[in-house]
Amino acid sequence: MEKEGSKEIYQNNSVKITVDKEWCKACGICLEFCPQKVLAADEGGKPYPVNLSACTRCGLCELRCPDFAITVEGVEGKKDV
């Protein structure tokens, strides 16, 4: 995991998940509805990937996050960095 300001970046060679710890309000939506159960809650209820390699880059966590706090790069149709 790398840190960039309030952002925590988790990466392997196919996917990069970024969680903005300041914007995240620990609502639990991304964890609950991840089809692959990639995410788990830290002690503050905010997500981090426990199973990054299972991520299919479906992008649902990002699309449903009410706080623009989680992004997934490598998702089809989305700009790769």
Q: Is 23 in the site for other proteins (CB under 8 A)?
A: yes
Inter-CA distances, 52 with 8, 20, 39, 57, Å: 14, 17, 8, 10
Round to whole Å and give the CA distance between 57 and 41.
19
Please identify, using beta-carbon distances, which residue of 2 and 35 lies nearer to ligand SF4.
Answer: 35
- Tokens at residue 12, please? 């392997």
Please identify, using beta-carbon distances, which residue of 50 and 63 lies nearer to other proteins.
Answer: 63
Site for other proteins in 3-22 (CB under 8 A): 22
The residues binding other proteins (CB under 8 A) are 22-23, 25-29, 31-33, 60, 63-68, 71, 77-79
